[in-house]
């Protein structure tokens, strides 16, 4: 059945429906607008989250660049809430912490940068420099070695290792780094002179002793610094201090045993030296040389000759062993066999004099570099000879003697050069 509403009622129904529809549309529009605003605010907040750390990072970077490290540290403190800091942020944190003397915090930031990251070489280099600054040479050496593993061309890491190996008297490792710098064209005159002075002149132990004591205090397990300090203390009046320095090292350590035997010989305690040398390994060059010295002290020249020959076979370029063998041969009446050894020792001595002159007078006379290069070649030090000759040829490219000497040296493989031991 169809109900016929009056026109007024129908109009009223239509008006009410329109109101309801209008309210519904307005409500829907409002919800849409609110949803859009919520989304927009969410996106804006996300953009702010992304840009605010960047802004703070750039601000801290500018403050650090200007030397305002306290302000940089405060700015970086506002970034501590970031759950996964980027390597760039860690590197900046380390820079600021290191500048403020917070070495432990700086090293922790640097170590958190993985070796696989592109910033790892710089992080490892910086880590090594910080560790060296606080006297921890073992940790510094590891960091510098890792730097070179990641970036073999890093000359600064090699120069840092040169210092460590020089003060610890680790001469074979020193040769390795200086020769690498030479082959890379990164060996400056200062390090070239240093190479020669360390290798061919007397060790100024007093100068290094202060540093060695500091390094050992910072890291008592630093074996190499301990051995070097004990060697530096091997002089009249300091024997007790040398023995106390060696005390933490067991006799099973061949270098420690050799150092104790050297101290016993220096104080005339032959029985103690004999006991130490009898129990040590047979194939350690330092122990072989000391066995020769003990035999010489007892007048057994033939035993001394055998021991010194064994030591020289292990380290054929050690002038100290050459000289002792020459003395033993002369004492045994074999002057003819001693003459070539004494001549070789003389060549090493002449090289030392040339280097001392270069150190004190400089190289205003560049032919002195040529003479040093030729003397290195004659003394059986081809890597050093090449470095000196290359330095001279770079300034005197047409010098025939230098060119001829360098051509001869090119036939000698660097690996064939033997390094003499540092101790005892």
Domain with 117 in it: what CATH number?
A: 1.25.40.10
To which residue do tokens 């073999």 refer?
Answer: 152
- What integer pLDDT is reported at residue 52 of this predicted model? 78
Q: What value, to the nearest 5°, has the Cα angle with vertex 310 and ends 275 and 383?
A: 125
Specify the DSSP class assigned to residue 185.
T
Other CB atoms within 10 Å distance of the CB of residue 75: 22
Specify the DSSP class assigned to residue 345.
H
Residue spans of alpha helices (H) in 201-318: 205-218, 223-232, 239-246, 254-266, 270-279, 285-297, 301-314
Other CB atoms within 10 Å distance of the CB of residue 73: 19
Give the span between the Cα atoms of 46 and 52, in whole angstroms. Answer: 10
Tell me which residues of the chain have a pLDDT lower than 70: 1-51, 412-424
Task: Count structural domains, the chain.
Answer: 2
Domain annotation covers residue 87: yes
In degrees to the nearest 10, what's the CA dihedral of 271, 272, 276, 282?
A: -30
Residue spans of alpha helices (H) in 66-170: 69-77, 87-99, 103-111, 120-133, 137-150, 155-167
Domain annotation covers residue 319: no
Domain annotation covers residue 141: yes
Domain annotation covers residue 297: no
Give the span between the Cα atoms of 230 and 244, in whole angstroms. Answer: 8
Give the span between the Cα atoms of 374 and 379, in whole angstroms. Answer: 9
- Among residues 200, 235, 265, the one where a domain terminates is 200
Specify the DSSP class assigned to residue 139.
H
- What integer pLDDT is reported at residue 333 of this predicted model? 95
Closest to 321 (Cα-Cα) out of 311, 333, 331, 330: 311
- What integer pLDDT is reported at residue 413 of this predicted model? 54
Burial of 96 (0-12, 13-18, 19+ CB in 10 A): buried
Beta-carbon contacts of 128 under 8 Å, excluding residues fewer than 6 positions away, are 139, 140, 141, 142, 143, 144, 147, 157, 160
Distance of CA 235 to the CA centre of its chain: 29
Domain annotation covers residue 238: no
To which residue do tokens 């360098």 refer?
Answer: 406
Burial of 113 (0-12, 13-18, 19+ CB in 10 A): buried
Give the span between the Cα atoms of 123 and 107, in whole angstroms. Answer: 9
- Among residues 200, 221, 243, the one where a domain terminates is 200
Q: Are 147 and 124 in contact (CB under 8 A)?
A: yes
Give the span between the Cα atoms of 416 and 263, in whole angstroms. Answer: 33
To which residue do tokens 């061309």 refer?
Answer: 153
Domain annotation covers residue 236: no
Give the span between the Cα atoms of 132 and 145, in whole angstroms. Answer: 13
- What integer pLDDT is reported at residue 79 of this predicted model? 83
Specify the DSSP class assigned to residue 228.
H
- What's the length of the chain? 424
Q: Are 258 and 423 in contact (CB under 8 A)?
A: yes
Give the span between the Cα atoms of 103 and 97, in whole angstroms. Answer: 7
Domain that holds residue 146: 75-200
Domain annotation covers residue 353: no
Rg (CA), the chain: 36
- Among residues 200, 229, 252, the one where a domain terminates is 200
Domain annotation covers residue 168: yes
Give the span between the Cα atoms of 306 and 302, in whole angstroms. Answer: 6
């Amino acid at each position: 059945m169809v109900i016929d509403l009056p026109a007024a009622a129908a109009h009223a129904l239509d008006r009410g429906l329109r109101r309801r529809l209008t309210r519904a549309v307005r409500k829907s529009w409002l919800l849409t607008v609110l949803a859009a605003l919520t989304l927009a605010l969410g996106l804006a907040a996300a953009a702010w989250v992304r840009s605010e750390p960047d802004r703070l990072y750039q601000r801290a970077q500018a403050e650090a660049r200007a030397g305002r490290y306290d302000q940089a540290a405060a700015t970086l403190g506002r970034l501590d809430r970031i759950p996964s800091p980027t390597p760039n942020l860690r590197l900046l944190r380390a820079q600021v912490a290191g500048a403020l003397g917070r070495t432990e915090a700086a090293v922790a930031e640097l170590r958190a940068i993985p070796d696989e990251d592109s910033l790892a070489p710089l992080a490892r280099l910086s880590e090594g420099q910080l560790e060296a600054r606080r006297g921890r040479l073992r940790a510094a050496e590891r960091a510098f070695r890792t730097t070179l593993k990641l970036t073999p061309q890093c000359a600064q890491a090699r120069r840092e290792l040169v210092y460590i190996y020089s003060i610890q008297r680790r001469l074979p490792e020193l040769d390795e780094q200086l020769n690498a710098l030479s082959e890379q064209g990164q060996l400056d005159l200062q390090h070239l002179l240093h190479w020669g002075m360390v290798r061919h002149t007397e060790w100024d132990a007093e100068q290094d002793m202060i540093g060695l004591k500091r390094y050992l205090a910072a890291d008592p397990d630093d074996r190499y610094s301990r051995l070097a300090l004990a060697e530096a203390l091997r002089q009249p009046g300091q024997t007790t201090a040398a023995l106390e320095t060696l005390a933490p090292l067991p006799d099973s350590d061949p270098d420690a045993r050799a150092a104790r035997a050297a101290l016993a010989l220096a104080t005339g305690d032959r029985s103690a030296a004999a006991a130490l040398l009898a129990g040590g390994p047979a194939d350690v060059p330092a122990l072989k040389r000391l066995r020769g010295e003990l035999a010489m002290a007892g007048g057994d020249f033939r035993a001394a000759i055998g021991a010194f020959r064994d030591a020289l076979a292990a380290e054929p370029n050690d002038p100290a062993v050459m000289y002792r063998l020459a003395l033993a041969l002369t004492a045994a009446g074999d002057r003819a066999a001693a003459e070539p050894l004494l001549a070789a020792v003389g060549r090493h001595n002449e090289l030392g004099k040339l280097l001392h002159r270069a150190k004190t007078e400089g190289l205003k006379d560049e032919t002195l570099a040529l003479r040093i290069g030729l003397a290195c070649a004659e003394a059986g030090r081809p890597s050093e000879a090449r470095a000196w000759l290359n330095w001279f040829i770079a300034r005197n490219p047409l010098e025939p003697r230098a060119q001829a000497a360098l051509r001869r040296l090119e036939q000698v493989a660097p690996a064939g050069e033997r390094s003499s031991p540092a101790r005892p």
